[in-house]
Structure 1
Amino acid sequence: MRLVTGLLMPPTPPDLLPPVIIALCVFLVLAGHVTLESGLVRAKHSVNAAAKLLVLAGITILIVWTAGYGIMNAGGPIVGRGPFMPADGGADLVFAVAIACAAATLLSGPLAERTTLRAYAALVAVFGLAVLPFVMHWAWADGDTAGWLKATGFVDLAGGGVIHVAGATAALVASSVVGPRTGRFNGTRRSLVVQSQSFPFAALGVMLLWLGWFGIAIGQALSAGLAVAPVVINLILAGAAAITATFLANQVRPSRITVVHIIHATIAGVVAASAAAHLLHPMGAVALGVAGAGAALAGARALETAEIDDALGIASAHLFPGAIGVLAVAFCQPGNLLAVLALQAAGLLAIVAWAAAVMGAAAYGLRFVMRLRVGAEEERIGLNVTEHAMTTDVAMLVSQLGALNLNAGAFAYLEADSDGELGQIAREYNRAVDIFQAQIKGVKEKLTLAEAAAEQANDLNARLAGEVQEREERLDAATREVAFLTDQVARALIAVETLKGVRSGLVRLIGRTFRQPIERLHLMARRAASSRHQDDIDALIEAAREESARLARRLADVLDYAQASAIESPPTGDQAPMEKLIGEVNLLYRPRAESKGVKFRVVWTPEISSMSANAVALRKIMGELVNHAIATTPRGGIVNFSAKRGPGGELVLDVVDSGAGVSPGELAQALDPLSEGSGTGEAELGLALVKKLIDLHGGALTIRSKPGAGTQVRATIRAEHLGRPLAAAG
């Protein structure tokens, strides 16, 4: 009867519609968070991100309706006294439900990519029942008996401490109990925090979060009888200031401050202004937004030092700016600064302590009743598969190639969605398998005929038997080389799976790498199939080996390029003196130049003897530049290679040749092989790889070339990436 009575209650008065609409706007935070997380996590975990959001909404709404709303309400200094499971809580109930769901989303990022969905649901339930309702009651419950923080004068208008500090604290404590992602922290090595699959998606999510937080601030301002416009303006200004400050830092230090940090700063600026949004002057909001952005970046580095893994890197954008915003309330009341500062600090510590204690106890307790995280292999495969039995075309291809590697001597076809973005690679690979199998089948048939002829001619039997055995050995060698090519394809595609930011370009690059060799093999197979001469059979075997080796070299270049694209800073180990590295270049490439009839000259200044650099990177840079110059210079031409110290201590490498030169369009394609307009032929990645390595060292690559007039190349390596040889250092 109670349910029926609830359905027949009078309609909501018109004056209550705006609060309900504002409360519903807060639900945009949920949409914003799932969009943000889906944009920042790796594709193999994207389905899990969406599933977590839906589970969070369902569990949190029911918990708040049954018990959380009653705890939040007035009734006592520590805990509210109902109503529980209300038939009509009005706009207040809708607002409480929306805020609880918004706050619970903070658990998602620090637990992403390795937590089971069941454990995540349990932690969300603990947060929605035992953490957030109590903190909201303490700081916001009003009436005859207000919450104890509210009664002392603690101020937090839009949840800088109640929502952001409490939620981020609980999330990071749970993350520390669950543990970091596999390989995230390995001694002094730190893997990438974010391998985004869609930065535009993440940016859209931040804007939706911003809009949802306006709803929280407006709802709180209306309930307190405050003017709404100044509150909203202060939140807008704080967010804009944080974005601008981080953008300027990105222009100064792009290697340390990235686009991801701009996303984090947008969140941090709004969070920092949330607690005192009704007290701030606009200039104060701008200053607080900048301070919040700085606190978020510094806090993220502190969490990394403590080896607490936040997969999205946004928990620090809530915790530290939220704390600064709560304390900033005191500076809005300069006449009573110290007293208010002490009060705000005490309230902040109470919120942090309660959230950490409850979530820590719950997470440790849950370890004894359920599995909190997936295994290392399940994490590698991705939560889409292990938790939800769903996958992507890239994951499917990588899995199939992994199975092929277990039996590298066998051929098998790859399966992929023909309309998917990687379907073209699967089709080209399957075509290659068909061609190689046809070649091997034809060769074996001709070997069988040769054996029959040997049996008929006793006088030639011994010689033919030897030839048959030799051809079989060569055929087996060709088969092994093709199997090695399969392994190279697997490594290249695994690199594509890891590099979401350049995946589509690498797909095109691998497709171009396959096309011409496959077409050549196809023509040779047709010609050999129509011939019975042993010379044609021998030519076919050699062609298969040569083309497989060519493809292996091309795929190795793609893999080197992918690996260079996957790191953000140059390697620091394997330092070698520059004199030794230059001597190796001279020793390796002088015979090549002389055999071609090119005059090769190598010079360096005495200051080079005091420099050392990463051996792998510098060998690749110098080798590719010199090799390219020799290859493009005709007989009788000149190639000059020189090395010196620049005015700022940097290493300056100059390679000048009298070769054919290239046009600006060809040069642009050589430096960016992943672009749409990079041609349809086989990919040459030498200059592109050199540019990647020089960019990692913070240097510059300058190329001046004119068809028919030669090429001048200058590469610089910044001084901070150079060391001193061990002998000199001692």
Structure 2
Amino acid sequence: MRKVLFLCMTLLLAFPVTAFAADEPTNAMLQIAIDSVWVMIAAILVIFMQAGFALLEAGSTRMKNAGHVAGKTILTFGICALAFWAFGFGLTFGDGGAWNKLIGFGGFFYDGTAEQAAAAYPSLAGSDVPGSIKFLFQTAFVGVALSIAWGGFAERAKLSVYFIFGLLFTVVIYPFVAHWIWGGGWLADHGKQDFAGSTVVHLQGATAALAATLLLKPRLGKYNKDGKPNLIPGHNQVLSVLGVIILWIGWFGFNPGSTLSAFNDGFFGFIAMNTNLAAAAGGVAALLVSWLYFGKADIPSMLNGVLAALVAITASCAFVEPWAAFVIGLVAGTLTFFTAQWFEKAGVDDPVFAFSVHGIAGVWGSLSTGFFAAPRLVEMTGVGKEGLFYGGGFHQLGVQAMGVAVSFVFVFVLAYAILWVMKKTMGLRVTEEEEIMGLDISEHGSYGYPEQLKKSGNETVAL
């Protein structure tokens, strides 16, 4: 009986092979299929980072705002996805013409066909992955940039602000810098190295967060009359830790996925290794520095160190050797800790340290290739030149610095102007009463933790 069953199973397994032997795929078809599946998986990993942001930000803010902070992640990713499909994708990767290196134009309302992709998005022609998968992957990236920006709005911005600024960031701000570097724009012509987006994604999002933080002003009770900051701890470090773990995992879609290929002698695995080394170094460094500084090992500082290192290695992961990835992560974790302390003392109330983690680390990561870009990896990627420590002189460092400076100034001025107009016309911030009450109840009518909150007179307070 066993022999009969074994024979039947063998025939069933063999049948597709014999029946479709004439349609056996070619190596080229197999490569496209493998690359497409890999980029699709990477896109899903990057989209799943939204879960990490939701947990990290909710855990890092107060209980009375937890539902709002987590819920707006879904809302804003939805707004971002629709706006990027309609206009943002075409502005970022569309053909601007030989005379125009500032912005793309064309391919709006992408229909998912290969014909439109080939005609409208020449900067994406280097990969045979279907255009619809590339679109999904790039949508995930702009969604991350927008999630970073929201860190500067936390616990005091009106819900309506998320609708309007989310739309404008996706269509008016993000596409310019993304086109300059990834869409065949003028910084790409100069050889700007930003493999997965330390500048395009993280610095843009962090700069918008900084503009919002400055215009919204500090949260109630953050500073005393003498300007000394008070600690406003997040309500759940466990959620924050889980959020960072999810983000760390998601980064293996972010960086290795930017190869747009798995059929490349395992190069995506090399990038994953660099990414992991940097993250580990950043987290350990930040924890040790906080221990020396505070006399206690601070968990939020460690989490920020991990994220800062991941941000920094995002630009350089394909251009540097593993030893350099370790150094980049180590420096990023340390820099983020000290800049976070400085900004807080300077009166900048950045609830989740978005600018320190994503901005300062984004700057360092973007500059790092100017120091550490290895000749063999530069030749492999075909972008820019080797770094200073490999005898390349200051050329690549200068290109990186120019890209960082121009991108920061452009995004900050535009984001500040948009938010300033919004502040004067519709207002950015909830009332003092609503802020004290908490945005869960004032904006949504229910609490994220209803059993943990009670009414005390006219105020709602956390138990």
Smaller-chain TM-score bracket: 0.7 to 0.9
Gaps of 5+ in 1: 1-12, 404-493, 498-502, 504-730
Once residues 111 and 361 of structure 2 are traced to their aligned partners in structure 1, the CA distance between those partners, rounded to angstroms, is: 38
Map of 1:410 onto structure 2: none
* 1:106 counterpart residue number: 148
| Whole-angstrom distance in 1 between the partners of 2:95 and 2:253 | 26
Q: Which shows bigger deviation, 222-231 or 304-313?
A: 222-231
* Cα drift, residue 199 of structure 1: 0.8
Inter-partner Cα distance in structure 1 for 2:142 and 2:259: 18
- Taking the aligned partners of 2:250 and 2:398, their CA distance within structure 1 comes to 31
SS of match in other structure, 2:325: helix
Matched residue, 1:282:
322
| 1:389 equivalent in structure 2 | 445
Decide whether aligned partners of structure 1 residues 313 and 350 sit closer, same or farther in structure 2, where only a CA change above 3 A counts.
same
Q: Which residue of 2 aligns with 1:324?
A: 364
2:123 corresponds to 1:67: no
Which residue does 2:180 correspond to in 1? 138
Q: Is the 1:154–1:347 contact (alpha carbons within 8 Å) kept by the matching residues of 2? A: yes
Larger Rg: 1
Amino acid paired to 1:83: G
- The 1:276–1:372 alpha-carbon spacing in structure 2 relative to 1, beyond 3 Å, is same
Indicate yes or no: 2:214 matched with 1:176.
yes
- Helix, strand or coil for the counterpart of 2:318? coil
The one of 50, 63, 81 aligned to 1:30: 50
Q: Is the 8 A contact 1:193 1:312 kept in 2?
A: no
Instruction: State the partner residue of 1:338.
Output: 394
Give the distance between the partners of 2:393 and 2:360, measured in 1 at CA. 21
AA at the equivalent of 2:426? M
From 151, 175, 181, the counterpart of 2:189: 151
2:281 is the counterpart of 1:241: yes
Query: Structure 1 residues 258 and 37, CA, compared in 2 at 3 Å: closer, same or farther?
Result: same
Task: State TM-score, norm by structure 2.
Answer: 0.80
The answer to which of 82-91 and 222-231 deviates more is: 222-231
Distance 2:243 2:261 in 1: 27
Amino acid at match of 1:78: L
Q: Deviations over 1:370-394 (max 9, x none)?
A: 1211111211110111111113344
Q: Which residue of 1 aligns with 2:352?
A: 312
- The separation in 2 between residues aligned to 1:320 and 1:114, in whole angstroms, is 24
Partner Cα separation in structure 1 for residue 345 and residue 58 of structure 2? 26
Q: What residue in structure 2 maps to residue 195 of structure 1? A: 233
Distance of 1:24 and 1:359 partners within structure 2: 29
Partner of residue 425, structure 2: 369
- SS of 1:186's equivalent in the other structure is coil
**Residue from 106, 119, 144 that aligns with 1:82:** 106
CA contact (8 A) 1:166 1:352 kept: yes
Which has the bigger relative contact order, CA under 8 A and spacing at least 6?
Answer: 2
Q: Report the counterpart of residue 66 of structure 2 in structure 1.
A: 46
Matched, 1:14 2:33: yes
CA distance in 1, matches of 2:361, 2:134: 27
**Structure 1 SS opposite 2:454:** helix
Q: Would you say how many aligned residue pairs link Structure 1 and Structure 2?
A: 389
Q: Secondary structure at the match of 2:314?
A: coil
Question: What are structure 2's unaligned runs of at least 5 residues?
Answer: 1-31, 113-130, 373-386
Whether the 8 Å CA contact 2:43–2:253 is kept in 1: the answer is: yes
CA contact (8 A) 2:209 2:354 kept: no
Aligned 8 A contact 1:107 1:124 in 2 = no
CA distance in 2, matches of 1:300, 1:252: 16
Provide the C-alpha distance between the structure 1 equivalents of 2:438 and 2:300, rounded to a whole number of angstroms. 22
Q: Distance in 2 between matches of 1:377 and 1:308?
A: 22
Q: What does the per-residue CA deviation read over 1:440-481, in whole Å, with 9 as the maximum and x for residues that have no partner?
A: xxxxxxxxxxxxxxxxxxxxxxxxxxxxxxxxxxxxxxxxxx
Q: Take 1:207 and 1:292, find their aligned partners in 2: how far apart are those partners?
A: 18
Q: Is the 8 A contact 2:38 2:257 kept in 1?
A: no
Distance 1:283 1:246 in 2: 18
Equivalent residue number for residue 231 of structure 1? 271
Indicate the SS of the match to 1:396: strand
In structure 2, C-alpha distance between the alignment counterparts of 1:81 and 1:345, rounded to whole Å? 27
**Structure 2 CA distance for aligned equivalents of residues 40 and 337 of structure 1:** 42
Opposite residue 285 of structure 1, the aligned amino acid is A
Query: Sequence identity of aligned pairs in percent?
Result: 29
Worse-matched range after superposition: 265-274 or 246-255: 246-255
Cα distance per residue 1:579-621 (max 9 Å; x no partner): xxxxxxxxxxxxxxxxxxxxxxxxxxxxxxxxxxxxxxxxxxx
Contact 1:194 1:312 in 2 (8 A): no
Structure 1 residue 398 corresponds to structure 2 residue 456: yes
- Higher strand proportion (structure 1 or 2): 1
> In structure 1, what residue type is equivalent to 2:33?
P
| 1:696-707 mapped onto 2 (5 Å cutoff) | none
d(CA) in 2 for partners of 1:24, 1:190: 43
2:81 is the alignment partner of 1:57: no
Q: Give the deviation of 1:285 after TM superposition.
A: 1.1
The CA distance in 2 between the partners of 1:378 and 1:19, in whole Å, is 43
Aligned to 2:381: none
Q: Which amino acid aligns with 2:342?
A: A
1:386 and 1:38 map into 2 onto residues whose CA distance is 17
Using a 3 Å threshold, how does the CA distance of structure 1 residues 181 and 336 change in structure 2: closer, same or farther? same
Q: Distance in 1 between matches of 2:105 and 2:444?
A: 40
Using a 3 Å threshold, how does the CA distance of structure 1 residues 342 and 170 change in structure 2: closer, same or farther? Answer: same
Kindly provide the CA deviation profile for residues 409-435 of structure 1, in whole angstroms up to 9, marking residues without a partner as x.
Answer: xxxxxxxxxxxxxxxxxxxxxxxxxxx
- State whether residues 52 and 108 of structure 1, in contact with CA within 8 Å, keep that contact through their aligned partners in structure 2: no
2:367 counterpart SS class: helix
Structure 2 residue 137 is the aligned partner of structure 1 residue 95: yes
